[in-house]
Chain A
Amino acid sequence: MRISVKLIATYRELLPPGAQGNRIEIDVPQGTTVSDVMTRFGVPLDERSVIVVNGATVPLSTVLAEGDVVSAFSAIAGG
């Protein structure tokens, strides 16, 4: 199935060449979890990162569905 990964601000550097801006579409097998995908891109799975699926806070063990967008950025104060 196809999902999107969006890596924001400094995490953009974790995207492989060929990504469009901060986003890439990838094919993953059924049953893939949030943590599987984040590990693949080298996103830290601890408190250093904020990871959301379709913009919502979910457990890292959440199984992804077709069309999901997994976004991540470094936990740092902002606006």
Chain B
Amino acid sequence: MYGWHGKILRIDLTNLKTSVEEVDPQMARDYLGGRGWAIRYLYDEVDPLVDPLAPENKLIFATGPLTATTAPTGNRYMVVTKSPLTGAVAHSNSGGDFPTWMKRTGFDMFIFEGRAEKPVYLWVNEDQVEIRSAEHLWGKDVPATTDALLAETNPKSKVACIGPAGENLVLMAAIMNDKHRAAARSGVGAVMGSKNLKGVVAYGRKNPAFADDEAMRKLSLTIAKEVGADIKKGSSLREYGTAYVPQVTNTMGILPTRNFQSGVFEGADRIDGVALKEKYLIRPKPCYRCPIACGRLTAVDDEKYGGKGEGPEYETISSLGSACGVDNLAALTRANYWCNELGMDTISAGMTIAAAMEMYEKGYIPEEDIGQPLRFGDADAVIAMLRKMAYRDGFGDALAEGSYRLAEKYGHPEIAVTTRKQEFPGYDPRGSQGMGLLYATSNKGASHMEGDVAYEEVFGVPVKDDPLTTDGKAELVARFQNAFALIDSSGLCVFLAVRYVFSKDRMIWPTRLAQLMSHTTGVEYAPEEVLTAAERIYNLERLFLLKAGSTVDTLPPRMLNEPLPEGPAKGRVAELDKMLPEFYEVRGWDENGVPTREKLAELGL
């Protein structure tokens, strides 16, 4: 095969055995790679009703046909499993270096199944595959684990691992790679922890072969030149990282503030990318072969909050910062480092603490349960809660279950701002209507990465769309969901993809992405075919969700009933009922959100 290696490494953790499987070429073509291949395998091999933390669940690492290629940002991988947070499918994406190193082992996917009796790690050096004891690493944080694994294997290899949060089955535990990058959402780290799998080490030199070397090289260069020219003109992502975004969302009145009680945060200037650049930035830090370099290598020189690491990015600023009422950038950056070191999703961790703060202030959670006051704006309390959460220490045990279960436990589920029990990212849908439809219908629970229509509603990419209107959002959301399923299956990064390999009209069209995939794989992909494949992937994830028993597409009561109190979207709620029926129609689903027989037949499902 070209582009793909066509090989899967299966790791039976119960019996400590590994095996190699060939991929069926038709499946490869129909499901593209990455997220697409992974959901096909998950759907076929895992009962959607299984306990996500039981040995019967499987954990899949998947690269795409463009991972480890010359395509700029072709360096992403997906972690796919059944989520312990949502009970639905999880597909969490990460960059860094690890994805390319993983693909260079000669395998496109790793499938972990069963449960090891004692902690282990996997060491893949091309065809030499070993499952080794990780008992000496259990309890160690992410940086210490990573350093130890590199020392024990090959210092030139790359590591993905869990920290204490994953070991303790925290429902927002992440899988960290290259120390600072995270396949963060939906508790994929807890699934890894449940399998007693501490880490995965990858090394290899098997770059995938291209079907058309010359065409691939040419198109990659063209794209890289376009990105380079734009960066030369001044790129907010290069200059400030995604940390420039709080200014934008605050201006539009959709920056989550004090657990979504407002969309305007008075401290936004103090926690944005400009402040970060002036105070703590060492340099922009790119993922492997990325010309954009949105990552931030930072250091805080402060007695109390000192440290060095990466971040914060926008989602972290909005969750651990404004959502918790925190405007102390040093503390917020340190909180970000803690999440990375302990291996936790900053979005769900921050939003869960925000919900706890609101419940504390309203008297729904007694102080004796928490062991201390927990008021909005108290950065030290945020840091204290993060550590308790990762170790399930005291009140941290309740926090580790996420905001929905926490709020339910204290009799106020309406405080939790979640869909399918997963915390919202940093765009309040009352002032970004398309995002509301996206969160409500997302197969994996609230996530911007499911089809980020904020690109149009907020950022004007590829074109600007009015965030306050519901008109046309049904089709826009469906298009973006399919586009993101496609990007996640390809191995590219969304930051590059939407702008440079899709056409610049509103209903984005993957002309160049199809070309890149054709040049790599040798399959003559037309844009229509890759989009149909993406729709197939999206519908299969929907089927997994329906079989898992989660069927209602809705938003939390605050979004539907409590108007935003201030800012440009003052007085607005999320008008889901205006968009949902049309969305189902666009999707070819019935009035309950179930794909029709005709739609499934059309997609070959």
Chain A interface (Cβ within 8 Å of chain B)?
A: 6, 8-10, 12-13, 21-22, 47, 49-50, 52, 54-57, 69, 71, 73-79
Contact = CB atoms under 8 A, between A and B. Distances in A.
Contact of B425 (A21, A71, A77, A79): A79
Interface of B: 234-237, 239-240, 242, 244-245, 247-249, 251-253, 269, 273-274, 313-315, 318, 425-427, 448, 452, 454-455, 458-464, 466-468, 494-495, 498-499, 504, 567-569
Nearest to A13: B234
Contacts of A47: 460, 462-464, 504
B234 A8 contact: no
B236 A52 contact: no
Contact of B498 (A13, A55, A57, A77): A77
Contact of A78 (B245, B274, B466): B245
Contacts of A6: 247, 251
A21 B569 CA distance: 24
A69 B242 CA distance: 23
Contacts of A69: 251
B460 A50 contact: yes
A52 B315 CA distance: 22
A55 B252 contact: yes
Contacts of B239: 9-10
A78 B248 contact: yes
3 nearest A-B pairs in the assembled complex, by CB-CB distance: A55-B568, A75-B460, A79-B314
A38 B155 CA distance: 53
Contacts of B269: 21
A54 to B, nearest CB: 6
A55 B461 contact: no
B454 A79 contact: yes
A44 B309 CA distance: 36
Nearest to B254: A55
A74 B248 CA distance: 10
Given A9-B247, A22-B274, A76 B236 contact: yes
Contact of A52 (B242, B244, B251): B251
Given A6-B251, A55-B252, A57-B467, A76 B461 contact: yes
19 contacts: A8-B247, A9-B239, A10-B234, A10-B236, A50-B458, A55-B251, A55-B253, A57-B467, A71-B251, A75-B460, A76-B235, A76-B459, A76-B461, A76-B499, A77-B452, A77-B459, A78-B458, A79-B245, A79-B318
Given A77-B499, A79-B425, A79-B448, A8 B244 contact: yes
B93 to A, nearest CB: 14
A50 B236 contact: no
A57 B248 contact: no
A78 to B, nearest CB: 4
Contacts of A75: 459-461, 464
B567 A55 contact: yes
Contacts of A71: 251
B454 A54 contact: no
A23 B253 CA distance: 17
B274 A12 contact: yes
A47 B463 CA distance: 7
A79 B315 contact: yes
Contacts of A13: 234
B234 A77 contact: no
A52 B465 CA distance: 12
Contacts of A9: 236, 239-240, 244, 247-248, 273-274
Given A6-B247, A47-B504, A77-B237, 17 more contacts: A9-B273, A10-B234, A10-B239, A52-B252, A55-B568, A55-B569, A69-B251, A71-B251, A73-B236, A76-B236, A77-B461, A77-B499, A78-B242, A79-B242, A79-B245, A79-B313, A79-B426
A45 to B, nearest CB: 12
Contacts of B495: 77
A9 B313 CA distance: 14
Contacts of B466: 57
A73 B247 contact: yes
Nearest to A47: B463
A67 B262 CA distance: 22
A56 B432 CA distance: 11
B234 A74 contact: yes
A1 to B, nearest CB: 20
A9 B234 CA distance: 10
A65 to B, nearest CB: 15
Nearest to B269: A21
B251 A8 contact: yes
Contacts of B467: 57
A50 B461 CA distance: 9
B464 to A, nearest CB: 6
Contacts of B273: 9
A49 B464 CA distance: 9
Contacts of B245: 78-79
Nearest to B315: A79
